[in-house]
Structure formats: C-alpha cells, structure tokens
Homo-oligomer: A and B are copies of this chain.
Amino acid sequence: MLKRLLPRDSNFFDLFDKQINYAIEAASHFRETVGRGAVDDVSLQRMHDIEHLGDGIAHDIIERLNKTFITPFDREDIHTLTVQIDDIIDMIYTIMNRVKVYKVDRPDKNLIEFAAVIHQSVQSVGRAVNGMRDLKHSKIITDACVEVNRLENVGDAMRDDTLGELLDGAHDPIYVIKWKEIYQDAETVLDICEDVAHVVSSILVKHT
C-alpha cells in the first residue's frame, strides 16, 4: 500500500522540478534578451512559449493535488508553491512584454543588473525546491533560502538607487513612467522568489 502511494508522491517533486526549471529558463532567456537590449517578436514568442509550458505544469500539479489523497506535504503549501512559481514566470514575461510595448529596447545597465540578480535568485529558488525531495539534508535548502533573501535585499537597494536617480528631475516624464514600472516589476520578481523561499522554509520547519 505504502509502496503504491510513494511513487505518486514523488511525482509532485518531479513536477515541481519541471516547473522551477521553466522559471530558470525564463530568467535565463530574460537575462540574455535584456543583455542584447532588444526584445523582438522572436524572443518575446520564446518567452511566451516558456510561460505556456510552465502554465501547463502548474495545471498538472493542481489537478494532481485535487485527485491525490496523500501528499508529501500540506496541500495548501503545494498549492501556494505552484501558484508562486507560476507568478515568477508570469512577471518575467510581463516585464519583457512591457519592454517591447514601451519600445525601450536598447541595453539599459540597470535592467541588465536586475536581470542578473533575478537569474541568480531564481536559480537559488531552484536549489531550494529541488532540495525538498530530501528534507534531511536541509543545509542545501537553508543556504539557498538565505541567498534568496540576500538577493531580495540587494534588489531593494538597487530599486531605491535606480528610482532615486530616475526621479531626480533630469529625465523626461514619459521615460520615467516607462522605466519606473519596469524597475518596480523587476524588484517584484525578487519579492516573489522570497515568498517561495518562505514557503519552502516553512515546509522544512514542519517536517524536521
């Protein structure tokens, strides 16, 4: 009986690994595109495809959750995790779409820096999520979560510096409106990463 149940459980981990891999792919593609400074139809379509694939996994996780009686950890935590990882991908897609719609498509050193921090943070979230398979080796998880928190603080400081400079009166208001939203959204990605790290930490606390 137990043996029949265990493989079902392990599938949740497989699905989370797949979902977080799409988030890492989104962050990596975002970083690359932003580095080139141009969001063309091809690179936006590719982000859209990643977002769509990630969405599919999120639906699989929630459908499995609705049909599974025994889950490897609290149902609510599974639900929250998958929604938040989906939010990471959605927000990265949103930013990339804005860069295209607002036609601010040349390399911007602040956005390049944000994209690098986002990429690092999503990779750290990935280590925390992968680590959930084996809650006994918790140091991997806690180290990853500490790093995600650190990067969120880095992002806060970057946002404050960037907005302070952006709003100092030297820039055109339309330019300010566009970039203020993009930078704030970029910082929001790091906030969501921190939310995911909090959920993984709390799962660790409950099971050890």
Contact = CB atoms under 8 A, between A and B. Distances in A.
A158 to B, nearest CB: 12
Contact of A174 (B97, B103, B164, B169): B169
B66 A160 contact: no
A6 interface: no
Given A202-B62, A202-B66, A167 B178 contact: yes
Q: Is the interface of A mostly helix, strand, loop or mixed?
A: helix
A61 to B, nearest CB: 12
A133 interface: no
Nearest to A184: B181
A206 interface: yes
A164 B205 contact: no
Given A202-B66, A205-B66, A102 B174 contact: no
Nearest to A74: B66
A36 B36 CA distance: 46
B62 A160 contact: no
Copies in the complex: 3
Interface string A58-77: 00001100100000000000
A103 B169 CA distance: 11
A167 B205 contact: no
A56 interface: no
Nearest to A161: B101
Contacts of A112: none
27 contacts: A62-B202, A63-B205, A66-B202, A66-B205, A66-B206, A97-B160, A101-B163, A101-B164, A101-B167, A102-B163, A102-B164, A102-B167, A103-B164, A103-B167, A103-B168, A167-B174, A167-B177, A167-B178, A169-B174, A171-B174, A173-B173, A173-B174, A173-B176, A173-B177, A174-B176, A176-B177, A177-B180
Interface of A: 62-63, 66, 97, 101-103, 160, 163-164, 167-169, 171, 173-174, 176-178, 180, 202, 205-206
